[in-house]
Amino acid sequence: MRADRHAACHIHTFSNFKLNNIMKTLHRSILRVLLCPLAVFCAFLEPASLCSAQSFPEIITRPVVSTGLQQPVQVVHAGDGTNRLFIVQQGGTIKVLDRTDDENFVDRGVFFNIGSIPNTGEQGLLSMAFDPNYSANKRFYVFYTNPDGNLEISRYETGDDPYRADMGTKHILITIPHPTYSNHNGGEMHFGPGGFLYVSTGDGGSGGDPSNNAQNTGSYLGKLLRLDVNNPDLIPADNPFPNSLVYAYGLRNPFRWSFDRLNNDVWIGDVGQNAYEEINSIVFSDLKGANFGWRCYEGNAAYREEDCDSEGDYVFPVKDYEITDTTKSVIGGVVYRGSAFPELYGYYIGTDYYSKKIHLISKTGDSFAFNDESVGVAGIADFGESENGELYAVGRGTNTLYRIAPPVPMPVRFTSFKVIPGENNGALLLWTVTESGDFSHYEIQRSNDAVSFSALGSVSRKEGSGEAADYSFNDEFTSPGELYYYRIKALDLDGTFQYSAIASFSATVAGNRPGSPAKHYILPNIIGQGKINISLTDPFDQLELVSLSGQTIQKFGLESRHGKIVLEAGNIPSGIYLARLISPGRIVTEKVIFP
């Protein structure tokens, strides 16, 4: 049974229902002390057997595909020996990538396009899974929200071209009613033991599960479903509830989950309500009929217990964490079983969509150890494996495929970094490095809070530099009285990177010469018919059109161009944008308005 997360501190407020839970919790805590002697104190504060007194490997997210993707939400392989990766995209398409090696892929275009479906918010194409016998029958399955907002699972086949699905082979397996609300759809599909298809579904939406779907085994919402795709009625004979696809229940919004390919342990990231996110782990033999507790519990804390069974056998999460502005949407991960990085073997690797951190959990017997590591990347929507067990992630917020790997030592070491008043009263960045080999370039980044940084420009590596090298960059776009934070990102040829220390700079005057009007290159700054008029009296290599939230909308090459030119921006949503004119060592930013 689940206990209140802070049971040891609040005994005087408990009902009899909670008091029963405390007794179970204390029993588990005593066992945990024996398993984790270094965590004696925290044992009585955490109901799950979670021990954190150990060292963890370092993790980085290394970009391997950063073009051609649009809102990717899942990465899978076909298990057909081709080593291809398939990228599911929320809008309704699936891209296929040929593998050259573990970090190099060739984009072979769109494998699948479902057509018009709702695809905003939490709706869209959510998941795909290849039949265990795909090499022979060419069947695969997709999970999506249909035009009525209901959840649907359909089967398709690949045609004669192995890079293109045959859209005429569609067969709808099941449509699950999802009325009233558009959120909490789940969900992810995986084939598991016995060749059955397992599907996670959300509780139906709104907040607090108003229809109590998750605890109702007669509903297919808030569940882990188990389907026999080779049986016309889809229901395996040994499912725990008669004439039902329900295999486990009590889930709120299990957007991402996985099987451990070694032992079939199940790991589920279940998105929380207002207080806690939770990570569940359960051995497969205990999954049948398991109740993960929502809406009776949120994480390990009681949420709405009046409709709950005080003697119910609820499954505790192995980790819950408090919801904040930067930790509010857990993304279930995968246990690494590849061979390239022995130091990662056996670790569960997941994240929170907003946190820019990787979750690491190790399991020893019934004991779990947790750590999180900053990787500087938010917006990760899924972790998936290649056929050979290597681990990848897709960034829905960055439209990027990442490889999950330990860091590789960089051939550069920062020996100094400072910011002083520079040209045109801007900020002059000066840094010195010791370089021991080839690498790509430096990216200059700026922030107003020392937390969220955006790129200003780049500086190329000096040719022929072998040991010490000095670099500079002048940021002319500063405002009086503002405090800025800068850092340098050194990028290697393989996409790995490292940062300098952070240096601050207080702008005392505007970043243009005082007493003279600011020089403008874009006139007028109100953009009519999508045409940007530029007077290039100075050389620039590129213009970037950036939203006020920092998203790059378009890029235009300006090398070898001068004089008055017109750039076709096309149909840009109305609003204020930043136009960044970039050249080596210099960046000029101007505001433009699309009416």
Q: What's the total number of domains in the chain? A: 4
Query: Can you say how many angstroms the Cα of residue 520 is from the centroid of all Cα atoms in its chain?
Result: 39
Q: Are 287 and 299 in contact (CB under 8 A)?
A: no
Instruction: Summarize the confidence of residues 12-38 as an average pLDDT.
Output: 37
Among 13-17, 324-328, 341-345, 416-420, whose mean pLDDT is lowest? 13-17
Same domain, 9 and 40: yes
HSE on the CB side for 366, CA within 13 Å? 12
- Residue of 576 and 29 predicted with greater confidence: 576
- 246: part of which helix (H) or strand (E)? strand 246-249
Domain C-terminal end among 373, 405, 437: 405
Cross-strand bridge partners of residue 391: 385
pLDDT digits (tens, 9 = 90+) for 346-371: 999 999 999 999 999 999 988 999 99
- Mean pLDDT for 502-513 is 62
Among 47, 37, 35, CA closest to 8: 47
| Span 155-208, pLDDT tens digits | 999 999 999 999 999 999 999 999 999 999 999 999 999 999 999 999 999 999
Min mean pLDDT across 217-221, 317-321, 423-427 is at 423-427
Per-residue pLDDT, averaged over 384-405, amounts to 95
Instruction: Indicate if 489 and 559 belong to the same structural domain.
Output: no
pLDDT at 7 over 60: no
Within 352-394, residue ranges assigned H as helices are none
Closest C-alpha to 572, from 591, 558, 593, 557: 593
Q: Is residue 512 one of the residues assigned to a domain?
A: no
Per-residue pLDDT band for 555 (boundaries 50, 70, 90) equals confident
Joined tokens for residue 80: 């057909």
- As a whole number of angstroms, the distance between CA 254 and CA 292 comes to 11
Most confident of 152-156, 481-485, 506-510: 152-156
**Does residue 516 belong to any structural domain of this protein?**
no
Pairing of strands 165-176, 60-65: unpaired
Element (H, E) at 17: helix 16-35
Cβ atoms of 141 and 150 closer than 8 Å = no
Q: Mean pLDDT over residues 105-118, rounded?
A: 95
Q: Which residue pairs from 22-31 have beta carbons closer than 8 angstroms and sit at least 24 positions apart in sequence?
A: 28/316, 31/366
State the pLDDT confidence band at 22, using cuts at 50, 70 and 90: very low
CATH number at residue 547: 2.60.40.3080
Phi-psi region of 289 (alpha: psi -120 to 50; beta: other; left: phi over 0): left
Burial class (CB in 10 A: 0-12, 13-18, 19+), 310: middle
Please check whether residue 317 lies inside any domain of the structure. Answer: yes
pLDDT at 107 over 70: yes
Averaged pLDDT of the chain: 85
| pLDDT score recorded for residue 423 | 74
Of 377, 405, 433, the domain-final residue: 405
Query: Please, are residues 78 and 88 in contact by the beta-carbon 8 Å criterion?
Result: no
200 with 278, same domain? yes
Instruction: State whether 189 and 251 are in the same domain.
Output: yes
Determine the Cα–Cα distance for residues 148 and 180; give it in Å rounded to an integer: 10
Q: pLDDT of 448-466, one tens digit each? A: 876 677 889 999 888 765 5
Strand, helix or coil for residue 392: strand
Query: What residue numbers bound the domain in which 448 lies?
Result: 412-506
